[in-house]
């Protein structure tokens, strides 16, 4: 089972029934728990046959609260209509790693949950066979029953659950997960957990959570990153209606943990926020006040004129190859900082009682949040209970836990009373960990046959020396490394104090746009069809590169060929001012290719008429409707990044404060149709949160060029006069 050891344990339920838990210990990477799980971990089968499954990972709209229980239910061989799913609290001793990010929830749990479910099914068969008085090897299961087809007898899981729980554990080599041809749940679009509550506006999100006697808090931080609160008119604030507390938080010097600020607590959030409007704070702004986007742009221009600071990769003789090329392309690309722009602003509830902390958090990394809160408050992690709540979006923002630490710190000052911290939209956007901007000077050349013979990228990003800030780096194996013989990748870094972090498809969301737009430029310079040019670049070798740089060109070619076929590439009759563009990218273990059909009018109004997407994320699409939704959402998300999203810095602070300045695609601007196809390959299933996003940016940019002859090299496109039709 891919170097995994599994621990399983069963016990009796009160009144009869069966409890089953499972845990994986990966051969690679640290694990806190290596012991058998609490029997309440994953599955509870009640005497009446109802089954309660625990969703262990954070749910933020990616559908994992449905997909992971589907894997378990499939192996249990139960009727999905009899399944109830509950969200598990943080307990990595019981559940193993609990996080959501990097599209890892599916690959990290695929083998684990299949093994847990298959073990339970085997024990139920053994108990059912004993109950029916027949050999276990003659029995099978179907929809929550053990069957003996020869005699026509059967028994329900609920009737035998307590007997199954008393049986000795089967050895792992006795357990055989189902063959894919026998799946009844995996691969089917089952009702999404919590969907009725979501569409009817039930209070199921973290922002809705309340406790009796709860007080509500706001938190004012220095607008300049890293600044500190020196003093504030706290006495005046405390006199305002229904305000209960106001105090300065010194902070710990780490903006990703506990930034210095002023907390105001009131009986209702509205009163706290009204009091905040009267707040007057003296800030020590610190050195970041000298940072500006204008300064970054000027520095990049200066650096492009100089020699790169350090080399990341160099293959062959790049300069000679480019100089000897028949056609050469020289282009400078630029993309901005952007915000995660999650729909639900940061929030967290907390209660501190008798030296112990309890929090209700919408975190993507609740385990890390627990550790950070313990450090900030001087507690032991074991003294902190973290309840996972459904999150209204994250996209990487909730990998940070600053909102949790702030809520925890405030709660400790008011022991015994639950508090709820809620950021405003402006708080959320002004104090983000932004997708870093960047600059790339691309040079390339093709020979007489149209083959790329030289490629050079001077990558100007953010950091100091050779150390990149979070999510601003480029890897030596990033495509098209290993596909071009004369390949150069060099970098220079610009110092910044602006907080940065991973945003959906980290790095790939910007790098794919540059790399695959530049490939398109080279294709046109060579006079080649853009799809065929890419197929030629991918070549005939199935896998290129080794180890971490391994790139399955065969899987990508299959995606590219199918998307060309489905979109009618080269065969469609397009109206004047309409063009088609293509892009592909490999990220987070997923291969995706996309084609966009776009029209551009004389006023640079852009209409995306349709997008075709083909992806290979392994052998199974666990929940097809959710998978399709992930692809559609990623494409629309990418469109937002392309056109109008930008964070600019002035005097060390963010200029943009809300969606009117950092715009999302509206429904009327979204493509009328997004056609999604999946290729099932002989690879374990992987995630879908990230891989579908990167290709849409170059696909639309390249389509704009095909439609208008204008090459977009600066994002957002609004800076070059474009807007949605």
Residue 18 has a pLDDT of 53
Q: What is the CA radius of gyration of the chain?
A: 28
Are 309 and 230 contained in the same domain? no
Are 76 and 107 contained in the same domain? yes
The pLDDT of 697-708, averaged and rounded, is 98
> Residue 254 CB: number of other CB atoms within 10 A?
14
Q: Tell me the angle at which helices 105-132 and 157-165 cross, rounded to the nearest 10 degrees.
A: 100
The whole domain housing 396 covers 206-286+346-422
Specify the pTM.
0.94
Among 450, 180, 460, 145, CA closest to 299: 460
Q: How far apart are CA 81 and CA 97, in angstroms?
A: 28
Residue 116 has a pLDDT of 84
pLDDT digit string, tens, across residues 597-618: 999 999 999 999 999 999 999 9
Task: Tokens for 194, please give them.
Answer: 């919590």
pLDDT digit string, tens, across residues 9-42: 444 343 345 555 543 333 233 333 333 333 357 8
Find out whether 404 and 373 touch, Cβ atoms under 8 Å. Answer: yes
- Banded pLDDT at 166 (limits 50, 70, 90): confident
Q: How far apart are CA 118 and CA 138, in angstroms?
A: 17
Find out whether 716 and 643 touch, Cβ atoms under 8 Å. Answer: yes
Q: How far apart are CA 637 and CA 505, in angstroms?
A: 11
Find out whether 10 and 18 touch, Cβ atoms under 8 Å. Answer: yes
Please identify, among 166, 182, 198, the residue that sits at the C-terminal boundary of a domain: 182
Among 407, 309, 312, CA closest to 363: 407
Q: How far apart are CA 311 and CA 481, in angstroms?
A: 14
Q: Residue for token digits 């209702």? A: 268
Name every residue whose Cβ is closer than 8 Å to that of residue 311 and which is 6 or more positions away in sequence.
488, 489, 490, 491
Please identify, among 356, 389, 422, the residue that sits at the C-terminal boundary of a domain: 422
Q: Is residue 477 part of a domain?
A: yes
Are 35 and 113 contained in the same domain? yes
Please identify, among 422, 456, 473, the residue that sits at the C-terminal boundary of a domain: 422
The per-residue pLDDT of the chain, averaged, comes to 93
Which residue blocks in 448-503 are alpha helix, DSSP H? none
| Pair type for strands 452-464 and 487-494 | parallel
Question: Residue 279 pLDDT > 90, yes or no?
Answer: yes
Across the chain, which distance is largest between two alpha carbons, in Å?
A: 84
Which residue blocks in 87-155 are alpha helix, DSSP H? 92-95, 105-132
Q: Is residue 196 part of a domain?
A: no
pLDDT digit string, tens, across residues 321-355: 999 999 999 999 999 999 999 999 999 999 999 99
pLDDT digit string, tens, across residues 94-135: 888 899 999 999 999 999 889 888 988 999 999 999 999 999
Q: Is residue 86 part of a domain?
A: yes
Among 551, 533, 556, CA closest to 444: 533
Q: Following CA atoms 529, 530, 536, 541 in sequence, which dihedral angle do they give, to the nearest 10 degrees?
A: -150
Residue 120 has a pLDDT of 87
Q: Is residue 248 part of a domain?
A: yes
Are 210 and 111 contained in the same domain? no
User: Residue 121: which CATH number?
Assistant: 3.30.365.10
């Amino acid at each position: 089972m891919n170097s995994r050891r599994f621990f399983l344990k069963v016990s009796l339920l009160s009144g009869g029934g069966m409890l089953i838990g499972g845990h994986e210990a990966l051969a690679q990477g640290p694990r806190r728990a290596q012991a058998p799980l609490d029997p309440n971990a994953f599955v509870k089968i009640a005497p009446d046959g109802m089954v309660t499954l625990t969703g262990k990972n954070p749910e933020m709209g990616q559908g994992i609260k449905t997909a992971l229980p589907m894997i378990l239910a499939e192996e249990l061989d139960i009727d999905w209509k009899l399944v109830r799913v509950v969200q598990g609290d943080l307990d990595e001793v019981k559940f193993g790693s609990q996080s959501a990010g990097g599209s890892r929830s599916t690959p990290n749990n695929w083998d684990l949950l299949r093994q847990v479910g298959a073990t339970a099914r085997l024990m139920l068969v053994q108990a059912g066979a004993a109950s029916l008085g027949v050999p276990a090897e003659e029995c099978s299961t179907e929809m929550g029953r053990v069957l003996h087809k020869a005699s026509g007898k059967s028994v329900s899981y609920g009737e035998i659950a307590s007997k199954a729980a008393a049986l000795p554990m089967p050895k792992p080599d006795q357990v055989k997960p189902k063959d894919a041809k026998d799946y009844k749940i995996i691969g089917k679009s089952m009702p999404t957990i919590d969907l009725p509550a979501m569409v009817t506006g039930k209070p199921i999100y973290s922002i809705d959570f309340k406790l009796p006697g709860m007080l509500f808090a706001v938190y004012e931080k220095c607008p300049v990153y890293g600044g500190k609160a020196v003093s504030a008119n706290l006495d005046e604030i405390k006199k305002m209606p229904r305000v209960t507390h106001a105090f300065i938080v010194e902070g710990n010097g780490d903006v990703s943990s506990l930034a210095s600020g002023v907390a105001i607590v009131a009986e209702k959030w509205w009163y706290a926020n009204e009091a905040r409007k009267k707040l007057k704070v003296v800030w020590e702004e610190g050195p970041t006040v000298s940072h500006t986007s204008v300064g970054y742009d000027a520095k990049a221009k200066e650096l492009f004129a100089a020699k790169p600071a350090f080399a990341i990769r160099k293959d062959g003789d790049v300069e000679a190859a480019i100089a000897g090329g028949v056609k050469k392309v020289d282009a400078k690309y630029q993309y901005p900082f952007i915000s995660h722009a999650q729909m639900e602003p940061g929030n967290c509830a907390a209660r501190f009682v008798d030296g112990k902390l309890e929090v209700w958090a919408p975190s993507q990394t609740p385990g890390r949040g627990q550790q950070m809160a313990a450090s900030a408050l001087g507690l032991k992690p074991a003294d902190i209970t973290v309840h996972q709540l459904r999150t209204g979006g994250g996209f990487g923002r909730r990998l940070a836990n600053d909102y949790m630490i702030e809520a925890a710190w405030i709660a400790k000052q008011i022991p015994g009373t639950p508090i709820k911290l809620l950021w405003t939209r402006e708080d959320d956007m002004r104090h983000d960990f932004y997708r870093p901007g960047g600059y790339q000077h691309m040079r390339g050349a093709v020979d007489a046959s149209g083959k790329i013979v030289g490629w050079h990228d001077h990558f100007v990003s953010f950091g100091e020396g050779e150390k990149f800030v979070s999510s601003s780096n480029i890897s030596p194996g990033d495509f098209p490394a290993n596909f071009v013989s004369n390949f150069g990748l060099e970098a220079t870094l610009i110092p910044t104090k602006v907080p940065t972090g991973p945003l959906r498809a980290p790095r790939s969301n910007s790098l794919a746009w540059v790399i695959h737009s530049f490939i398109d430029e080279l294709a046109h310079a060579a006079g080649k069809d853009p799809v065929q040019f890419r197929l030629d670049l991918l070549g005939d070798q199935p896998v290129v590169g080794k180890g971490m740089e391994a790139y399955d060109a065969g899987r990508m070619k299959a995606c590219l060929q199918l998307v060309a076929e489905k979109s009618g590439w080269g065969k469609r009759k397009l109206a004047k001012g309409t063009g088609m563009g293509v892009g592909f990218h490999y990220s987070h273990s997923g291969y995706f290719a996309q084609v966009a059909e776009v029209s551009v009018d004389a006023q640079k109004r852009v209409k995306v008429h349709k997008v075709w997407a083909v992806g290979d994320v392994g052998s199974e699409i666990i929940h097809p409707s959710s998978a399709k939704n992930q692809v559609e959402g990623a494409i629309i998300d990418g469109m937002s990044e392309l056109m109008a999203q930008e964070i600019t810095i002035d005097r060390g602070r963010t200029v943009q404060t809300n969606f009117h300045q950092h715009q999302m695609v509206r429904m009327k601007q979204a493509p009328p149709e997004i056609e999604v196809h999946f290729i099932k390959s002989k690879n374990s299933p992987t995630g879908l949160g990230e891989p579908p996003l990167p290709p849409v940016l170059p696909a639309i940019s390249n389509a704009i060029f095909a439609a208008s002859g204008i090459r977009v090299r600066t994002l957002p496109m609004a800076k070059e006069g474009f807007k949605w039709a």
